[in-house]
Each structure stands twice: as C-alpha cells, then as structure tokens.
Amino acid sequence: MSDPTGAVSHATDADFATSVLARSQAEPVLVDFWAAWCGPCRALGPVLERIAASEAGRVAVVKLDTDANPEVARRYEIRSIPAVKLFHRGEVVAEFVGALPEAQIRAFLDEHVPSEAGERAHDAAHALALGDLADARAHAEAALAAGPAAAAAATAHAVLARCALAAGDVDGAARHAAAVPATAPEADVAEAIGELAALAATTAADRGDGAEPAARFARAIDQVVRGDVPGGLEGLLALVADHRRWNDEAARKAMLVVFRVIGLRSETSDAFRRRLSMVL
C-alpha cells in the first residue's frame, strides 16, 4: 500500500526492482525521472509532492535522479526530462514528458490509474483464462458493482457472457454479450457469443435423435454451448460434408461463429478450419 503520509520516496538503480516494479504489483507507482540541474524538474517537484499527499492510498509517487542512476534511465530510454511514467503490475501503462500543470496531471491519473472496477475485471479475465468459471463470475459481478468504468464493464460483461454460455444460460449469455459496446476490444467475441446463444435458443426445439439436418445441427450447437466444443464442431463439420447447402450453409456459418468464440487463432480453430477447407 502507499505510504499513508503521502510522502514522495526515491528509487535508485540498485533498488528499482523492489521500490517500483515489485511495489507496482500492489499499487500504481508514478515515477518522476528528473535531475537537479533541470529547471522544469524543479518546478514539477512541488506539484508531485501535493499529488502524493492527496492521492495517498491510490497511487505512490517515486522520484529517480537520472544522473545518479543512469542504468534505469537507459533501460526506459529517458531522453528528455522531466519524464513521468506510471507503472502497474511491473509495466509502464502511461507516461508524459514535461512539467504539466497540476490539473492536467490529475486528469492523467484519473484516466490511467486502475480503478477497483478495472482490477476486478482484470481478475475476472485472468480467472476465465484459467478455467475457473466461478471465480471469473464473482470477479466480473464485483467489477460491475464497483461503479461506472466503461472498459472494466465491457470486460466484465464479456466474461459473464462466456460464463453464462458455459452454464447453458443462453438468455444470460445473450444479455451480457449485448451489453459489450461495439468499440470495446471484446466486441467481436461478444458478438459471436450472442450469435451462438441465439442459435442455441432457436434450435432447442429441434434437438432429438433424428438424423435429419435440423436435429443434427441442434445437437451440435448444444454440444458447443455445453462445453464440448470439439464434439460440436465434429457434428457441424459432418453436416457440412453431408448437407453443405442446407439452410443457406448454416453449419458452415455456425462453425465460423464458434471459431470467433473460442479464438480465431486457437489450436482447435486452426485444426477445424483446415478440415473445413478440405470438405469444401
């Protein structure tokens, strides 16, 4: 956590890994790369001290003298000072150069310092990648409850759409997918999840043991939704081979939707894309 006094601390080449990189795993760290001979650096100093005091608990402020610590300055390609970089989880996430006015620096922090919602959304996406759907759902719901944050909300809704789909809740999947803005990075996947959920909803009545294309298509979609993606893709591929033009090539188009849901460059997508091209 930040120093409760909001005091500005100092980093060196020797301790940068702990005083900044490791510390930024727990809280954002704003690093001021400066030098004693630099007039704008001296002007910026008091501004950062006020920010350190008022933003204690939200962001830590650390100064690094580039003359005394050339190794870190070279590593981060400091060519003009003052250079200010915001570190989070060990990486530079935002930066600016020059002695900006205090109001502009505070606006910079408002834009780039991770919020509780953002942290929860990040944790949700991480849990989803690990396959922990319960944890992913809990973090995503917490992100939405933490307050308005457009990027965090988009990630949270995308995670919840996947979780709902995996649980067979096609209505929930469609609802959360629709809540992801078209401008969000998750938009394409969310749209594909919505399309798959719609397919599952409209074909539910056709499931059965029949050999007709509609029944086979419905069973394949159901397999995908319930988590057996390879099995569902096998069923769709067989349907393409047997009835390629059935229902305006619905099976082929459904496979393309599934590829988008699981990742266009995933191993499963690559394997079935190759097999689909051979069938076609």
CA–CA separation, 117 vs 157, rounded Å?
12
DSSP run (H or E) holding 86 = strand 83-88
Residues facing residue 8 across a β-bridge = none
Cβ atoms of residues 106 and 49 within 8 Å: no
Catalytic residue chosen out of the listed positions 30, 31, 38, 61: 38
Identity at 124, one-letter amino acid code: A
Identity at 191, one-letter amino acid code: E
CA–CA separation, 252 vs 247, rounded Å?
10
Q: Is 31 helix (H, G, I), strand (E, B) or coil?
A: strand
38 is catalytic: yes
Catalytic residue chosen out of the listed positions 29, 41, 73, 136: 41
CA–CA separation, 262 vs 192, rounded Å?
9
User: What does the chain come to in residues?
Assistant: 280
CA–CA separation, 189 vs 180, rounded Å?
10
- Picking from 75, 55, 58, 57, the residue whose alpha carbon sits closest to that of residue 66 is 75
**Sheet containing strand 29-34, strands side by side:** 9-10, 60-65, 29-34, 83-88, 91-97
Active site residues: 38, 41
